[in-house]
Amino acid sequence: MAKKKASVYVCQACGYQSAKLMGKCPNCGGWNQMEEEKLPGKSEGNTRTTFAGNVAKAETIKEIKVSKEPRIKTSITEFNRVLGGGVVPGSLILIGGDPGIGKSTLLLQVSAELSQTGGIVLYVTGEESSSQIKMRAERLELKESDYYIYPETDMNAIRSVIEKIRPQFVVIDSIQTMHHPEIESMTGSVSQVRESTAELMKIAKTNQIAIFIVGHVTKEGAIAGPRMLEHMVDTVLYFEGERHHTFRILRAVKNRFGSTNEIGIFEMKNGGLEEVLNPSQLFLEERLAGATGSAVVAALEGTRPILVEIQSLITPTSFGNAKRTVSGLDYSRVSLIMAVLEKRAGLLLQNQDAYLKAAGGVRLDEPAIDLAIAMSIASSYEEKETKSTDCFIGEIGLTGEVRRVSRIEQRVGEAAKLGFNRIFIPKNNIGGWTFPKDAQIIAVSTVSETLKKLFH
């Protein structure tokens, strides 16, 4: 009698394995996420071998020869910025985002750009046919580019085609549709995603092929599949944006070859994604003159300062407990600043409803935006407008002090370049750098001092 192949129960949310079925996963706490999966049989080995037949071996660090291959740059400046200067050969890049956000559109445009650099590009699609991909490419006017389209989900077949074509760049759209024949579980399961990614990682590292992987996201916004998926790849990019805004933000949350603070800003149009080279002007162009509850901050995203309008609406509450609603800002940060304004500046906000947002659909989360949030709240509460040429930079402490922030010179320079001639900055940031000639720098040390200089 043939021996029955062993199986385990795997959590489809986090990848936790158990010998028996459990209703609640002990690792992530998810309910009804455990599914039975067959254990793979014995394989002949998992040695890293190149397509030329070279096998990896142990060497001393002095014996290892490093070939200084330059990064491959595209004409999409925003994409190069997020990757740290361009595509690194042999890197494994994971791109996640909500359905319909534009992941496939972005990678089609990137594939067209990479094919024009002289490299061979293979676009593997598991969700669409070849004709559907061509229709989209024609809509994006990518007719001049020439790269391979391969509609397949079998990992063995994909590896064979990669070995035959020998491309420099591969796009997998998407990893949840890939199927590894040695894993006896349904497509999209934790085991399938994990093993398919491991196979792609081995191909990328042993043959110096840059591979882009598209990953679906869950309802919570995290990339679907095991958490180790993000640990296996070199770079994790999130493509963000609101459904009712045309702007898209490409954000790096992990990058072994560059900074994780960089963002790229795009605008979705009929002809595809167009990069936004001056986002500060874009976020401020619809600002209403003479309105109360508005303040501009020079926030820093990676190496790029961006000017964003923070809006506040403070109204008396009609119920016992005041309501706090924020969009694009951290709720805890806003609550903290409102408590400081009430305790240190004398603003009675406990019986006021507060609604705050970062205009343009951008998300801000750094200490330097505190002063702008406080001034926008005070402006709406006092019904006094801030000047259209005022900019606020600074972190607020619990004792009401305005604390220094990093890279003040770049922030002030960006504000002065866009016509802001009165810039409030922390007093401890004065010194060691040159002020712009056409801007008035106002140094403040407390929130109360800032309110007096702003409104009186």
**pLDDT at position 5, please?**
56
Predicted confidence (pLDDT) at residue 247 exceeds the cutoff of 60:
yes
CA distances from 106 to 102, 174, 231 (A): 6, 13, 23
Residues β-bridged to residue 122: 148, 170
Same-domain status, 30 and 83: no
Same-domain status, 187 and 258: yes
**Euclidean distance between CA atoms 58 and 399, whole angstroms:** 57
The answer to whether the CB of 172 falls within 8 A of the CB of 200 is yes
Name the most confidently modeled range: 64-78, 216-230, 247-261.
247-261
Same-domain status, 132 and 205: yes
Sign of the CA dihedral running 77, 78, 81, 87: negative
For residue 394, is it within any domain? yes
For 386-444, write each residue's pLDDT tens digit: 998 999 999 999 999 999 999 999 999 999 988 899 999 999 999 889 898 889 999 99
Residue with tokens 């995203």: 301
Sign of the CA dihedral running 40, 43, 48, 51: negative
For 22-76, write each residue's pLDDT tens digit: 888 888 888 888 888 776 655 545 565 665 556 667 878 887 777 666 889 988 9
Same-domain status, 195 and 287: no
Residue among 432, 337, 417 nearest 377 (CA): 337
For residue 330, is it within any domain? yes
Same-domain status, 146 and 220: yes
Sign of the CA dihedral running 209, 210, 216, 217: positive
Could you tell me the CATH number of the domain that includes residue 251?
A: 3.40.50.300
**Euclidean distance between CA atoms 420 and 404, whole angstroms:** 20
**Euclidean distance between CA atoms 34 and 15, whole angstroms:** 9
**Euclidean distance between CA atoms 13 and 227, whole angstroms:** 8
Of all residues in the chain, what percent are helix, strand and coil, respectively (each to 5)? 30, 25, 45
Of residues 287 and 158, the one with the higher pLDDT is 158
Question: Structure tokens of 113?
Answer: 């750009």
Residue-range definition of the domain harbouring residue 14: 7-38
How much is the average pLDDT of 134-155?
87
Average pLDDT, the chain: 87
Number of structural domains found in the chain = 3
Could you tell me the CATH number of the domain that includes residue 425?
A: 3.30.230.10
- Laid out side by side, the sheet with 17-18 consists of 17-18, 7-11, 34-38
Question: What DSSP line would sit under 362-373, residue for residue?
Answer: ----SGGGHHHH
Report how far apart the first and last C-alpha atoms of the chain are (Å, whole number): 92
Q: Give strand ranges (E) for 210-262.
A: 210-215, 235-240, 247-255
Helix, coil or strand: residue 11: strand
Domain boundary among 228, 254, 277: 277
Q: Which residues contact 386 (CB under 8 A, 6 or more apart)?
A: 294, 295, 375, 376, 379, 454
**pLDDT at position 379, please?**
96
Question: At 135, which helix (H) or strand (E)?
Answer: helix 130-139
For residue 438, is it within any domain? yes
For 102-141, write each residue's pLDDT tens digit: 899 999 999 999 998 878 999 999 989 999 999 988 888 8
CA distances from 160 to 41, 167, 336, 353 (A): 22, 12, 57, 62
Same-domain status, 388 and 239: no
For residue 55, is it within any domain? no
Query: In this structure, which amino acid lies at residue 120?
Result: I
Query: In this structure, which amino acid lies at residue 288?
Result: L
For residue 174, is it within any domain? yes
Question: Structure tokens of 441?
Answer: 């720098």
Residues across the chain:
456
What is the maximal distance between C-alpha atoms in the chain? Answer: 92
Same-domain status, 263 and 311: no
For residue 70, is it within any domain? no
**Euclidean distance between CA atoms 176 and 348, whole angstroms:** 52
CA distances from 193 to 188, 189, 247, 290 (A): 6, 6, 30, 54
Helix, coil or strand: residue 415: helix
- The torsion angle over the Cα atoms of residues 171, 172, 174 and 175, rounded to 10 degrees, is -140
Predicted confidence (pLDDT) at residue 1 exceeds the cutoff of 80:
no
Place 369 in a pLDDT band, splitting at 50, 70 and 90.
Answer: very high
CA distances from 425 to 50, 368, 392, 412, 449 (A): 56, 10, 6, 9, 12
Same-domain status, 241 and 285: no
Domain boundary among 257, 277, 297: 277
**pLDDT at position 287, please?**
84
Same-domain status, 324 and 208: no
Same-domain status, 245 and 352: no
Question: At 77, which helix (H) or strand (E)?
Answer: helix 77-83
How much is the average pLDDT of 243-247?
73
Query: In this structure, which amino acid lies at residue 271?
Result: G
Q: How many percent of the chain have pLDDT more than 70?
A: 91
Residues β-bridged to residue 409: none
Q: How many percent of the chain have pLDDT more than 90?
A: 49
Instruction: Using alpha carbons only, give the angle 53, 56, 61 rounded to the nearest 5 degrees.
Output: 140
Same-domain status, 214 and 268: yes
For residue 433, is it within any domain? yes
**pLDDT at position 44, please?**
47
Same-domain status, 231 and 109: yes
For residue 52, is it within any domain? no
How much is the average pLDDT of 228-235?
86
**pLDDT at position 290, please?**
82
**pLDDT at position 262, please?**
82
**pLDDT at position 337, please?**
97
**pLDDT at position 222, please?**
67
Domain boundary among 246, 277, 308: 277
For 296-337, write each residue's pLDDT tens digit: 999 988 778 999 999 999 999 987 788 999 999 999 999 999
Among 3-12, 203-212, 255-264, name the one with the lowest average pLDDT.
3-12
